[in-house]
Amino acid sequence: MHYGPNPNAIYPNEAIKSICFIKNVVTRSNIIVGDYTYYDDINGAEKFEEHVTHHYEFIGDKLIIGKFCAIAKGIEFVMNGANHRIHSVTTYPFNIMGNGWEKSTPTLEDLPLKGDTVIGNDVWIGQNVTVMPGVHIGDGAIIAANSVVAKDVPPYHIAGGNPCKIIKKRFDDELIDHLLTIKWWDWPARKIFDNLDTLCSGELTKIKEI
């Protein structure tokens, strides 16, 4: 008996090769992804890492994505390696051009490092979204297509735009607190399978009966 797709498969549904489980295609140790989180891209879903840019091990920042996230094509996670000095006369990166200019190589302390980028569980990110360094997106959040996310998004909120702004809460505070307490994404596969009708129901109070 199967209680859902194999979380260790690259393609959860072999008939749909535009969707892949990200954790099974990443090779970088500084990208951490939970079970069942997928990237959807007809041009190569398994190339997810190409959409995580300016990500250098010597900086030490991580991209951390939770379980059961849905990430649409065109995503770009801009990591801390994209940052330039901002407290000097010029932001120009002379050092990477070489030919003597490397004498101006900045130290990590010179750069505006924002820390890890963290995406919670059950987050839906629409097409062509850019997530800037150090952003935290909470569990159950939704990010509208074509957004540029430069600030944190709380759990179970809908946000969109450039710059991305909070549009509204998905649910009332009581239900949000309940969902953050039960953490359904951590349930075993059998329990999720047995409660799919409730998880996918518009009758929101049913989740409190489990």
Model confidence pLDDT, tens digit, residues 77-130: 999 988 888 888 887 887 778 898 888 777 777 787 899 999 999 999 999 999
The pLDDT value given to residue 146: 98
DSSP SS3 for 40: strand
Catalytic residue among 84, 87, 136, 157: 84
The pLDDT value given to residue 173: 97
Q: What does pLDDT average to over the chain? A: 94
Q: Is the pLDDT of residue 29 over 90?
A: yes
How many Å apart are CA 82 and CA 102, to the nearest integer?
A: 17
Q: Is the pLDDT of residue 133 over 80?
A: yes
The pLDDT value given to residue 101: 87
* Catalytic-residue membership of 136: no
Of residues 178, 148, 154, the one with CA closest to residue 166:
154
**Mean pLDDT, to the nearest integer, of 27-43?**
97
| Tokens linked to 110 | 């010179």
Helices (H), the chain: 173-182, 189-194, 196-199
Of residues 1, 142, 136, 11, the one with CA closest to residue 65:
136
Q: Name which residue leads in pLDDT, 110 or 74.
A: 74
Q: Name residue, tokens 């349930």.
A: 187
